[in-house]
Amino acid sequence: MRATDISDRSVDDMAIWGEPMLKYISQLARSMAVLGGLVLCALVVLTFVSVSGRALNTLGHAGSLGALGEGLIGAGVGPITGDFELLEAGVAFAIFAFLPLTQLYSAHATVDIFTSALSRRANKALMAFWEVVLSAVIVLVALRLYAGMLDKMQYNETTFLLQFPIWWAYAASFAASLAACVVALYCAAARVAELVTGRAYLPHSEGASH
- One DSSP character per residue, 17-31 reads HT-HHHHHHHHHHHH
User: Does residue 162 lie in a domain region?
Assistant: yes
Per-residue exposure over 127-148, b if at least 16 CB sit within 10 Å of its own CB, e if not: bbeebbebbeebbebbeebeeb
In a domain, 180, yes or no: yes
pLDDT tens digits in sequence order for the chain, 210 residues long = 344 444 444 444 444 434 578 889 999 999 999 999 999 999 999 999 999 988 888 877 777 667 776 776 677 778 899 999 999 999 999 999 999 999 999 887 766 677 777 788 888 898 899 999 999 999 999 999 999 999 999 999 999 999 999 999 999 999 999 999 999 999 999 999 888 888 878 886 544 444
Residue 193 lies in a domain: yes
pLDDT at 69: 65
Show contacts of 112-116: CB within 8 Å, 24+ apart.
Answer: 112/209, 112/210
Quick check: 94 and 23 in contact, CB under 8 A?
no
111, part of any domain: yes
Whether 156 is covered by a domain: the verdict is: yes
Question: How much is the pLDDT for 174?
Answer: 97
| Beta pairing partners, 158 | 165
Q: What is the dihedral of CA 113, 119, 124, 130, to 10 degrees?
A: -40
Q: What is d(CA 118, CA 97) in angstroms, rounded to the nearest whole number?
A: 34
Number of domains forming the structure of the chain = 1
- State the pTM of this model: 0.81
The answer to the question of residue 3 being in a domain is: no
**d(Cα 105, Cα 20) in Å, to the nearest integer?**
17
* Three-state DSSP state, 203: coil
* 174 within some domain: yes
* 209: in domain: no
Domain span holding position 24:
11-197
User: Is 175 exposed, middle or buried (CB count within 10 Å of its CB: 0-12, 13-18, 19+)?
Assistant: middle
